[in-house]
Amino acid sequence: MNDVESLKDYQRVRLLAIRSLFEIIEQSSEGTVIVDRDARIVWMNERYARRFGLPNAEAAIGQACESVIPGSLLREVVSTGQPILLDMLDTPKDPLVVMRLPIHDDAGEIIGAIGFALFDELRSLSPLLTRYLGMQEELASTRSLLQARQAKYSFAHFIGTSAPSLEVKRRARRSASTDSPVLLLGETGTGKELLAHAIHSASPRAHKAFVSVNTAAIPETLLEAEFFGTAPGAFTGADRKGRPGKLQIAQGGTLFLDEIGDMPLQLQSKLLRVLQEKEFEPVGSNDVIRSDVRLIAATSSDLEAAVQRGTFRADLFYRLNVLPIRVPPLRERLDDLPALCEAILDELLLSEGHSHHELDAEALPLLARHSWPGNIRELRNVLERAALHSDDAVISADALHAAIGTLSPPTETRKVAGPPPAMSLGAAIDFHSARENFERQLILNTLAEHAGNVVEAAQRLGLGRSTLYKKMAALGIPS
């Protein structure tokens, strides 16, 4: 008996709740309308009728809902039986937030629908809408930033089928599958940044950001803020909202540090902490941010010599030197010249609007007689200059010679007879001149022993390759 009474109470409370809910919404809303199964209006309150220019609610009875309320979706609710809980309805006066619900009979059949135009709800929803729009703008900005930070190159852009080029691509592809740091070594203009892009593109982080920083191009005083970001008002002139650093922008992706050999010692220690502890603090903040970036570094300097000089931390060098990849200079991959020239001329045709140009038969042998100290960057410059000054579609060897200027022949085998001659005390002007003469002759002999191979000569002398190049330049030895 108690269960029956409880059930009756439940049904009574439910009906009261439904009636109360209808009365509350109807009284507090801007308007209410009810339609039958044919979407014709059977009831409308006076406020809603006046909003749509009717003299009274009676004038709406029997009319199709769309003829009174343009844009009404009550017919859709009747036909599908699905409610539309929140929607925007444009009206001649102001937009409204509306709610539309189907009406069922006792058998569960749809017999009509009811619509409420929530009174003054736009103002109530304004903070929510503002927050939603702000989130949409932030999401769009993030997507735009991520798109701008995507890698631009793949391994297909590293042109070359010579043995040195194939070895570089093989090692780079293997490094793409890991999260270990990669150290790209090579002269300027050899394509180290292109390889960094390609490694990121082939890695599991390819869908995340690729952020590039040239440590040699940023003033030392700003470098730390550029890396780690700043807290709001961290220093005079800082952004009041704070500024994310490159480490934060690269979260989940790859951070490429070009010319890392020029990084100040103080910042080297902080970068080492990021690599070891996977965390960092923005400038002027006590908050610790977890770091999830894959690091690729590049340098054209001799880091081993820098470690010996004390200008580069040994522990950071060992941490970076996990996967070293030496990118060969162009003079060591002259077999790639035909493919490189074709790719560069095609690129000039597409991106710079040049006419189509080709090299004549004597042009390529001329290019092979130059040592290309500026590497591929110099080659592109020469080809572009020759194309701009050539009236013919075929670029001649003379035009290329004029674009190059003075040819710098590749290192040839130097024949030096015997050890350096003994020098009498009277022959030596001073100690420094004697040392220079000795070093010059020693380097020439070593180069001769190794058929002019600078890398092998540097190893034989116990010097870094870059150090040997600098000594050769200082002593007037052609490279």
Burial of residue 42, with CB atoms counted within 10 A of its CB: 0-12 exposed, 13-18 middle, 19 or more buried = middle
Provide the 10 A C-beta neighbour count for residue 107: 6
pLDDT at 21 exceeding the cut of 90? no
pLDDT tens digit sequence for 97-106: 888 999 988 8
E-strand ranges in 384-474 read 394-395
Eight-class DSSP state of 43: E
pLDDT at 63 exceeding the cut of 90? yes
pLDDT at 227 exceeding the cut of 80? yes
pLDDT tens digit sequence for 351-385: 656 678 888 888 888 898 899 999 999 999 999 99
CA-based max dimension of the chain? 131
What's the CA gap between 225 and 391, in Å, rounded? 50
pLDDT tens digit sequence for 261-300: 988 888 898 899 898 889 888 888 888 889 899 999 999 9
- Where do the H-state alpha helices sit in 29-160? 46-51, 65-68, 74-80, 121-148
What is the Cα 118 distance to its own chain's centre? Answer: 45
Please report the pLDDT score of residue 75 as a whole number. 93
Q: Which residue has the higher pLDDT, 18 or 348?
A: 348
Eight-class DSSP state of 276: H
Among 57-71, 80-94, 319-333, the range scoring the smallest mean pLDDT is 80-94
* Average pLDDT taken over every residue of the chain: 81
pLDDT band at 323 (very low <50, low <70, confident <90, very high): very high
Please report the pLDDT score of residue 413 as a whole number. 37
Provide the 10 A C-beta neighbour count for residue 358: 12
Cβ atoms of 416 and 444 closer than 8 Å: yes
pLDDT tens digit sequence for 111-120: 999 998 875 5
Average the pLDDT over 148-171 and give the result: 84
Average the pLDDT over 387-399 and give the result: 86
pLDDT tens digit sequence for 124-159: 555 655 666 566 666 555 555 545 556 678 888 899
Please report the pLDDT score of residue 12 as a whole number. 73
Eight-class DSSP state of 396: P
Q: Which residue has the higher pLDDT, 253 or 20?
A: 253
- Interior CA angle at 16 toward 15 and 17, to 5°? 90
> Which residue type, as a one-letter code, is found at position 432?
H
The pLDDT > 90 percentage for the chain reads 31
CA atoms within 13 A on the CB side of 279: 7
What's the CA gap between 114 and 85, in Å, rounded? 11
- DSSP for 372-393 reads -TTHHHHHHHHHHHHHHH-SSS
pLDDT band at 39 (very low <50, low <70, confident <90, very high): very high
What is the 3-state secondary structure of 182-238? EEEECCCCCCHHHHHHHHHHCCCCCCCCEEEEECCCCCHHHHHHHHHCECCCCCCCC
Block residue for tokens 């444009």? 90
Provide the 10 A C-beta neighbour count for residue 292: 14
pLDDT tens digit sequence for 401-456: 899 988 888 764 333 333 444 444 444 456 666 777 778 888 888 877 776 778 88
pLDDT at 123 exceeding the cut of 70? no
Q: Which residue has the higher pLDDT, 61 or 448?
A: 61
- 3-class secondary structure, 135: helix
Residues with Cβ within 8 Å of 82's Cβ and at least 6 positions away in sequence, in order, are 102
Considering the entire predicted model, what is its pTM? 0.57
pLDDT at 182 exceeding the cut of 90? yes
Please report the pLDDT score of residue 425 as a whole number. 41
Please report the pLDDT score of residue 426 as a whole number. 43
Eight-class DSSP state of 149: T
What are the chain's domains? 12-123 (3.30.450.20), 155-179+188-317 (3.40.50.300), 331-404 (1.10.8.60), 413-479 (1.10.10)
Cβ atoms of 254 and 203 closer than 8 Å: yes
Among 171-185, 223-237, 337-351, the range scoring the smallest mean pLDDT is 223-237
What's the CA gap between 10 and 16, in Å, rounded? 10
Block residue for tokens 């490429």? 256
Of 25, 340, 35, 40, nearest to 190 (Cα)? Answer: 340
Please report the pLDDT score of residue 116 as a whole number. 86
Block residue for tokens 């199709």? 64
pLDDT band at 236 (very low <50, low <70, confident <90, very high): low
